[in-house]
Structure formats: C-alpha cells, structure tokens
Structure 1
Amino acid sequence: MTVIDRLAAGWPAWLGVAGIALALTGCSNHNDAVALPSSSPSTTSIPFPPSDEEAVKESYISFIGALDRADSLPDGSRRQHLSALMVDPQLSRVLKRVEELRSKNLTSYGTVIVHIVSVDVAGNDATLHDCQDSSEAGIMNRTTRKKIKRGVEKGRTKAYLIKGADDKWRTSKYVVLGEGC
C-alpha cells in the first residue's frame, strides 16, 4: 500500500479527528460572548405623519410654550422665532404685548399647563378649546421679581389655527374666554 493509498484509506478518520480538534479550539474558559444574528428578521417601523388633529395639538402646545417665553427671546430674532408658530393677527398682538411689558419693566414668569378639550379641523382651518392651568404663571416686575399678576387654575381659551402652504399649523387667533371650565 502506497502512502497515497494509506492517506486515502485513512482520510475519513483523519477528517473526523481534525474536525473535533478544530471544534475544540473554539472553546475556552475566557467566557467571551459573541453576538449571533437574530433568527427573526428585524422590522423597522416607519412613523406615519401625525393626523391633522394631532398636528394642531402639537402646534398649539408649542404656541403656548412660546407665549410663556416670548419676551425673553432676542429682539432681533423674536419675530422669526414666533412666526414658526403663529401668523397675523396673533403674531402682531404678541409682539405688541412684549413691547408693552418691556416699556413697563414687566416680564412673564412660570409655565401654563395645557388641557386640550377639543379640536375641530375643517380643511386648512382648525378650532381648539383648552382648559389651561396658568395658576403658576403670570406677570412680574423685571427688576424686583415681585409678582404682579397671576393666572388661574382653570381658564377657558379658544385658538384658531390655519394650515400654511408648508403644511404647518399656526395659531392665527387666541382668545381667553374666562375662568372656569
């Protein structure tokens, strides 16, 4: 029997021994973990754009937040910041109110908490009713920080929003209806 014949005859046995040796060389006591691909395919969900009603709510909440800090925005970019959330006549009213407060050395403080009651959307127009809590917000002296006017726990408000050509909702009119909801 030639060497080649002996190797050929012993080939299956040699492969078995080599396979076991290779398999064992992968084992160690180092406890190194290797992440294996998951057996189930991953599904990435694509978020749907918000409905008009949800977009109106989000815009309104941002609008109220902007009112809370409108007088602290830089003079040079105030109009630009606010115009992302409101249009005239509301934009002009807010800018005028900021100037009135500053001329009297007053500023706003606190945060208004929104409690949206209803949203009605009709095409590119929306009406939103809110029962907001402004009891921890109000007007104070800019220098002394003395609180002059404070909001109410339950204040009824109504906001009119319009959808622009860019598909963004902006407040066009904001009306305080009175206390109690």
Structure 2
Amino acid sequence: MSAVVACQPDGVAPQPTRTAALPSVTPTPTPTSDRDAVLAAYRALYREGPRAERAHPKERRAILKQVATWPLLDSMLEGIAALRADGRMTYGYPIFRFFDVQIGGDRAALHDCQDARNVGQADEKTGKRLSHGVTGTHMVAALIKESDGMWRVAKVDQLKVPCSSAA
C-alpha cells in the first residue's frame, strides 16, 4: 500500500525509493468519461501520496491538494508527519482491481480489491522493509467532483474483510 494506507488506521505502507529530487507530476491522458476520471483520480492519489511523503513538509499540502480533499487531505498530512517522525517511509504501488464504481452527480464511490503484496513501510535510513500488504485488500473510496471540475478523493477506508480479486 502507499502513503494513503500508511496514513489510515491499521494501514499497510509503500516501498522506499531514494530520490534526490522529486519528479514532476506525469501528465495523464484526459479521461473520456466521469468513470475514467474517477479511476484516474484514485490512482493518482497512490502516486502523489508517496511523492508528498518525500517532499519538504511545507510542500506536502500543495502536492496532495491536486488529488485529495477534506477530510482525507488533512488525515494524510497528519499521517505522513507521524510516519516520518517515526523514521519510516512507505514503499510500493498496489495493483488496482476496481469493482462497484458508482457515480451520481458530483459524488462517486468505488471498491478496489487491491493486491498490495509489494507495498508497505520501511525504515527511512536503512530502507529495510518493515511491513507489507496482502492480496485481497478491500479498499472503499469516496470522491467528489469539485468546482474546478476535477475529481478528488475525500475518503479511503480499508475494510477488515478481504475481497476476492474476482470481485
């Protein structure tokens, strides 16, 4: 899992990657539908979370505001600060398996049966992996289409009951 999950209660975290400079956001193709835009926003959260985690604390909010909104934005910032204060960082990127995507107006919800085996937390100094996720990690996300027309993730919960990748 990534900083997204690491910043959630009982989260599992992502893989350590040492970089001297943060990469710029990679442009993604313009989604052709709200469904495509919702899925792209959710994926972007997992890409930008670790990027924010490795950024200077004053830069984190600006990075995350591109993909997250209240209340997730604030909880991610708090979670990243706590993670880093504990000398940990996240590693990895999950394999997404979306199902039950529902969109109504400016609200959306989705389920993701993630394969998070290559995601976890690591020691910031040594890079030693301290935890890892599992396959069948059942995530549920709520997204909002904001006034600028962009979908942003407002909430992500990990359900205790695993899901099947055939979901």
The two structures share one fold, judged by TM-score above 0.5: yes
More helix per residue: 1
- Is contact 2:31-2:40 (8 Å) kept? no
Higher relative contact order (CA closer than 8 Å, sequence separation 6+)? 2
- Is contact 1:119-1:129 (8 Å) kept? yes
- Equivalent position to 2:141, from 155, 159, 176: 159
Structure 2 runs not aligned, ≥5 long:
1-28
Distance 2:114 2:154 in 1: 18
Distance 1:133 1:81 in 2: 25
Q: How many residues end up aligned between the 2 structures?
A: 135
Query: Is 1:180–2:159 an aligned residue pair?
Result: no
Amino acid at match of 1:52: D
- Is contact 1:65-1:112 (8 Å) kept? no
Q: Deviations over 1:81-127 (max 9, x none)?
A: 10010001100110001111111101111111211113100110000
Distance 1:130 1:90 in 2: 17
Instruction: State percent identity of aligned pairs.
Output: 32
Q: Runs of at least 4 residues of structure 1 off by over 4 A?
A: none
Q: What's the counterpart of residue 128 of structure 1? A: 110
Deviation of 1:64 after TM superposition, in Å, equals 1.9
Distance 1:88 1:48 in 2: 24
Query: Is 1:137–2:119 an aligned residue pair?
Result: yes
SS of residue paired to 2:159: strand
Deviation of 1:136 after TM superposition, in Å, equals 0.5
Q: What's the counterpart of residue 86 of structure 2? A: 104
The normalised TM-score by structure 2 is 0.75
- Equivalent position to 2:37, from 52, 55, 59: 55
Structure 1 runs not aligned, ≥5 long:
1-46
- Is contact 1:69-1:108 (8 Å) kept? no
With over 3 angstroms needed to count, the CA separation of the structure-2 counterparts of 1:58 and 1:114, relative to structure 1, is same
Higher radius of gyration, 1 or 2: 1
Deviation of 1:164 after TM superposition, in Å, equals 0.4
Distance 1:48 1:86 in 2: 18
Distance 2:51 2:122 in 1: 13
SS of residue paired to 2:131: strand
The normalised TM-score by structure 1 is 0.70
Q: What's the counterpart of residue 73 of structure 2? A: 91
Distance 1:130 1:48 in 2: 22
SS of residue paired to 2:138: strand
